[in-house]
Amino acid sequence: MVNLTIDGKQVTVPKTYTIYEAAREAGIDIPVLCYAKKLLPFGACRVCLVEVEQMKGRLIPSCTTPVTEGMVVTTTSEEIRKVRKTVLEFLLVNHVVECPVCDKGGECELQDLTYEYEVVTNRFVGEKFHYPTDENNPFIERNMNRCVLCGRCVRVCDEIVAHGSYSFVERGFETKIATAFDRGLHCEFCGQCVSLCPVGALLPRPFKFKARPWQLKEVDTVCGYCGNGCTLTLGVKDNQVQTIRFNDKNGVNDGNLCIRGRFGYSYVNSDQRLTRPLVRKGGELVETSWDEALEAVANGLKDSKGAGIITGARLTNEEFFLLKRLADAAGVTSLDHSGGECYKVLTEGVKDVLGLTASTGTFPQVETADVILSIRSDFYETHPVFGMVVNQAVKRHEAKLLVLADKKGKFTKLPNAETLLTRPGLEVDVLNAMCVALLEGGKARTEGVSGIDEFKQAMAEFAPARVAERTGVSAEAIVAAAERLAEAQKGAILLGYGLPYTPASRELGLAAANLALLAGLADQEEAGLYVCGEKANSQGAIDLGVLPKEDGLGAQAMLAAAAEGKLGSLYIIGEDPLTTYPDGDRVEKALANAGFVVVQDLFLSPTAAKADVVLPAASFAEKDGTFTNAERRIQRVRPGITSPGEARTDYAIFGALLEKLGAQAPAGPAEVFGELCAGLADYPQIGLDEIGPQGVVWGGEKLAPKTRNLVAVGGGKSAEGRFLLTTGSSLYHSGSTTTHADGPLAAVPEPYVELGREDAAELGIKDGDSVTVKAGGVDLKLKAKVGARLPKGLLFAPSHFAGTGLNRVFRGEAVVAAEVAKG
Ligand code: SF4
Ligand code: SF4
Ligand code: SF4
Ligand code: FES
């Protein structure tokens, strides 16, 4: 620690602090423009100049100067004020002053400083720039005439997003921020640069002229999309979410968001939302009263042929709790979530080895990991903001990044990244071979680990040399990666998961946990194994046990039973199985042959259109309660708007159904939160309002394994053919909900199939061409996306879009043989 004096106040801070950080901690305000908490010090603007007694004769930038013992700092004096005012005058020399029409008005840092320092005239005269405004993309307006060259956009895009869209070009007075070749912005549109721009040079286009900042009601909540659980702040006016506001004070995402969280909010305002319950009469879905609809659902749940309930994983913990109570009240034992496979089965695999069904560490711990293994390069696509933590680990702290995947992705382009490119469907084989390499090479941590001999015997077929032959990853690379991981002081294995990845879920969970154990990561003080569910509350669904009872059916078994006419009713909540579940033909049969189908959702999805009763539900922006993210962080979800028409929260619907069944509904989410925590040993015993802005991580920052038991696991299954087709997530979409959101749709408006340049050239296919992919007896009509990501012979089609027929091709396989041709 270092002791110093700031404005006469004694301050003690860590020696890594700058003067600015020390002052901030002491509650002393120093103005800044180029400084941003999450970026490395830069020192571009000179607005933060202060006087240091030991450095007399010049003023010192406080944001870049480290504290030293005994330093005496003055942050305000007549001279400092004069110099800051001069700095502002310089900044305003060529800055167009358009405050009346600039969307940043009212929250512009330059405007605020100009006001505070009373810069009413300018002694300097210079030419104003007349750069054309870049409006070539639907997300971000770039008006470089307003830029103050603080470099925050350049740095955030490089240091955190790792996209590197911007640089400073030219010199002196001509300096400006430009994109490659000074063309329009073309990037992943996460909006981080917009969040950090202190002036109106970068603005979110969807919010243009919607409201002045002071007209917005700000509501802190949690993103409703993925298991990253980013906190965000809704900007609400006229009962509509008008924008997402930058807020780096809550949660652990430092205000970082991906395109889905930043620009994917419009679906909550959509006029396509369901607003009244519907019931099928004479073959048509017609509007009805809540009472009639709920009566029908309550009767359906009591069907003598049995009922099944399948829910999505975007309900709050409190809603899951009520749903379980509802299932009990109706005597329904077949209850499951998210297809019943994917994340649930993955955590079952991890549990067999480590006795845990959750990640062992927290996200921020990964920033200082020295070795990271990402299983599937598209981890950045399923959990982008956690991916940004990985970017920082690699770029700032020089972590070694190992990527085990069937295609290249964003991670593979990072410096210090090494990609183990495997034949599709065989990631488990490579993980197994890494375990075998550690055991054979004497590098495995085996203390306290049981089942070693049986494991060694059963895993003989996964010797690295043999695995190399079938996966295409060299034996040397497998051994080196395993050893690197075992040598890590602080290592992390990341496994992002979701519905498109159901095949071999259990095997992947087992294999990753075996490796975490043998490499010694599971027992490290920080980081370890990260199992990350796809949806906002996938972890909550596991924690609360939204699972079938012993005599009940899982989701896939329910669908199979319904398809055979053996299930009286099916109640589907927040899911569109017809679009996203594997084996779409079976789902269709299940919906046709179940005696009675209820769908509770925001939109009339393809699944809802087949239902007997449709209940209009609320979005995340209308809910009160908690989500638990993929690092076990329980965070507050708060309502910013009321639901359209008669739509209700899932919580209110379950409560009303409980009453229909003669049971009592609890008063509100606060009461239920208390009850659910009391029933879960690991959950904190606190009230809903005691959850602070950073949330509460159940089990603490480090979750120690309860067991250390190696479990042998079989390999994966690939396919043979000139082309192999795989499916998964796109960065721009999350499940099918984003296909109702303007932002993600503007980036990726339609389904596509991706193929490598070499294949495309051989087939005469160009980017954007219409192509036919034939696989599993199904013809898929898709747009071609040609790039450098996919190895020769591999095709990839994301799973988000309704009507593509992709889930009729995949019936439980990770990869299928396919043909592709233009037309
Ligand atoms: S939107 Fe994101 S990726 Fe695009 S330039 Fe800004 S920070 Fe970079
Ligand atoms: S565009 Fe904004 S963030 Fe980027 S350098 Fe200019 S003022 Fe700073
Ligand atoms: S989609 Fe996931 S990563 Fe993106 S902002 Fe939302 S929670 Fe964060
Ligand atoms: S904030 Fe310190 S130099 Fe810009």
- 702 in any annotated domain: no
Find the 153 Cα to ligand 2 centroid distance in Å. Answer: 6
Q: Atom 8 in ligand 2: which residue has the minimum CA distance?
A: 150
CA distance 687 to 689: 5
What does the pLDDT average to over 256-284? 97
Atom of ligand 3 minimally distant from the CA of 253:
8
Looking at the structure, tell me whether residues 519 and 545 fall in a common domain: no
CA distances from 384 to 192, 250, 499, 617, 634 (A): 12, 18, 17, 27, 19
The phi and psi torsions of 650 (rounded to 5 degrees) equal -60, -35
CA 139 distance to own-chain centroid: 19
375/472 same-domain check: yes
Considering the domain architecture, whether residues 328 and 474 belong to the same structural domain is answered as no
How many whole angstroms separate alpha carbon 365 and alpha carbon 362?
Answer: 6
Range of the domain at 55: 2-76
Per-residue pLDDT averaged across 48-71, rounded?
A: 94
> 129: pLDDT confidence band, cut at 50, 70 and 90?
confident
Residue 359: partners with Cβ closer than 8 Å, 6 or more residues away: 528, 529, 530, 531, 532, 630, 631, 632, 703
- What average pLDDT does range 732-753 have in this prediction? 93
For ligand 4, pick from 63, 148, 197 the residue to mutate: most ligand atoms within 8 Å of CB: 63
- Paired tokens of 412: 């593979």
The pairing of beta strand 240-245 with beta strand 231-237: antiparallel
Q: Mean of the pLDDT values across residues 24-51?
A: 95
CATH number for the domain harbouring residue 250: 3.30.70.20
pLDDT band at 238 (very low <50, low <70, confident <90, very high): very high
Strand ranges (DSSP E) for 433-517?
Answer: 491-496
What percent of the chain lies above the pLDDT cut of 70?
Answer: 100
- Give yes or no: residues 498 and 414 share one domain: yes
- The reply to whether ligand 1 has any atom less than 6 angstroms from the CB of 190 is yes
At 647 the pLDDT is 98
How confident is the model at residue 119, as a pLDDT?
81
pLDDT value at 501 more than 70: no
Summarize pLDDT for 536-554 with one digit per residue, the tens. 999 999 999 999 999 999 9
- pLDDT range class, residue 500, cuts 50, 70, 90: low
Tens-place pLDDT, residues 760-795: 999 999 999 999 999 999 999 999 999 999 999 999
Last residue of a domain, one of 529, 561, 583: 529
Over range 216-238, report the average pLDDT: 97
Q: Provide the percentage of residues in the chain whose pLDDT is more than 90.
A: 89
- Provide the CATH number for the domain around residue 783: 2.40.40.20
Question: pLDDT band at residue 97, thresholds of 50, 70 and 90?
Answer: confident
Same domain as 600, residue 460: no
The answer to whether residue 95 sits within a structural domain is: no
How many domains does the structure of the chain reveal? 5
Please state the φ and ψ torsions of residue 30, each to the nearest 5 degrees.
Answer: -120, 130
In a domain, 773, yes or no: yes
Q: How deeply is 460 buried, as exposed, middle or buried, from its count of CB atoms within 10 A (0-12, 13-18, 19+)? A: exposed
Q: Is residue 275 part of a domain?
A: no
Which residue has the least CA distance to atom 2 on ligand 2? 197
Question: Is 262 among the domain residues?
Answer: yes
User: Domain for residue 717, yes or no?
Assistant: no
Q: pLDDT per residue over 177-205, tens digit each?
A: 999 999 899 999 999 999 999 999 999 99
For ligand 1, whether the C-beta of 65 sits within 6 Å is no
Does a structural domain hold residue 108? Answer: no
Residue 628's pLDDT band, with cuts at 50, 70 and 90, is: very high
Atom of ligand 4 at shortest range from CA of 41:
2
| 198 shares a domain with 157 | yes
| Predicted local confidence at residue 379, as pLDDT | 84
**Quick one: 427 and 495 in the same domain?**
yes
Average pLDDT over residues 413-427: 94
Closest-approaching ligand to the CA atom of 34? 4
CB of residue 391 inside a 6 A radius of ligand 1: no
pLDDT tens across 319-358, in order?
Answer: 999 999 999 999 999 999 988 888 899 999 999 999 999 9
CB 285 within 8 A of CB 614: yes
Q: What CATH number corresponds to the domain at position 498?
A: 3.40.228.10
Predicted confidence band of residue 499 (pLDDT cuts 50, 70, 90): low
Of 494, 529, 564, the one marking the end of a domain is: 529
Q: Within a domain: residue 568? A: yes
Question: 578 and 610 share a domain?
Answer: yes
Kindly state the average pLDDT of the residues 289-310. 94
Mean pLDDT estimate for the chain: 95
Domain check: are 510 and 621 in the same one? no
C-alpha–C-alpha distance, residues 485 and 109, integer Å: 45
